[in-house]
Amino acid sequence: IEAQINRQSKFLSNIEAEEKWLNDIENNINQDRSHLNNSQSTTELLQDIQTETDRYNQLLSNVNTHDQQIDEQILPEAQSLKDSSSLQRIDNLKGKIKTLKQNLEKMISDMNIQATSIHAFQQAVENFRFNLKNFERQRSSILEIQTVSYVNMESDSQLLEASYVNMKKQIEVSSSNS
């Protein structure tokens, strides 16, 4: 009977450890979500997203490992002890683990979508900068052409004026000679 009590006690301790571990992870995830809002640039934001994605992937791996351990070790133990309250606790724990897995997978997917959107935004900004430089080059070229045209018009005007003055003098000289 004492061995049975020790076995039951160890088993309950294992379940409590799994429940505590799961609660700690859930609390940790909830606290970390606000961190991403403090990034200053898209590059920093992408780095933060990648760091968080890696961390969540690692957490998901750990959750899968714990889930497998529950299936392979704790659940068979509860079944052999025929302890209905422990089986219920394990069932609740498995439900929480399933929900946590789904939430982690969703968060990872959302972060990947955010990273893709940020990359697209960065590309759009680069395209805008490129187009803006082209526009500025074209504008400068047009202004230069207009300046050259204005200078040419001014030169043409001065030439016409000089020709007019010369013709007028010739006419005056011709008139006075006649």
DSSP H helix total and E strand total for the chain: 4, 0
Residue length of the chain: 178
Q: What is the pLDDT of residue 152?
A: 64
For residues 151-174, average pLDDT = 76
Q: What is the pLDDT of residue 167?
A: 82
Torsions phi, psi for 16 (to 5 deg): -60, -40
Per-residue DSSP letter, 178: -
Per-residue DSSP letter, 82: T
Torsions phi, psi for 103 (to 5 deg): -65, -45
Closest CA to 14 of 82, 85, 92, 78: 78
**Helix pair angle (42-69, 2-32), 10° resolution:** 170
Q: In the block, which residue shows the tokens 């007028």?
A: 168
Q: In the block, which residue shows the tokens 């997917």?
A: 109
Q: Are 111 and 33 in contact (CB under 8 A)?
A: no
Q: What six digits make up the tokens of 115?
A: 């990273």
CA 102 to chain centre: 21
Closest CA to 119 of 64, 43, 50: 43
Q: For the residues of 101-158, what is the DSSP string, one character each?
A: HHHHHHHHHHHHHHHHHHHHHHHHHHHHHHHHHHHHHHHHHHHHHHHHHHHHHHHHHH
pLDDT tens-place string over residues 15-65? 888 888 888 887 777 666 555 555 578 888 899 899 999 999 999 999 999
pLDDT tens-place string over residues 92-142? 999 999 999 999 999 999 999 999 999 998 898 888 889 888 888 887 777
Q: What six digits make up the tokens of 139?
A: 């504008």
pTM over 0.75: no
Listed by start position, the domains of the chain span 2-126
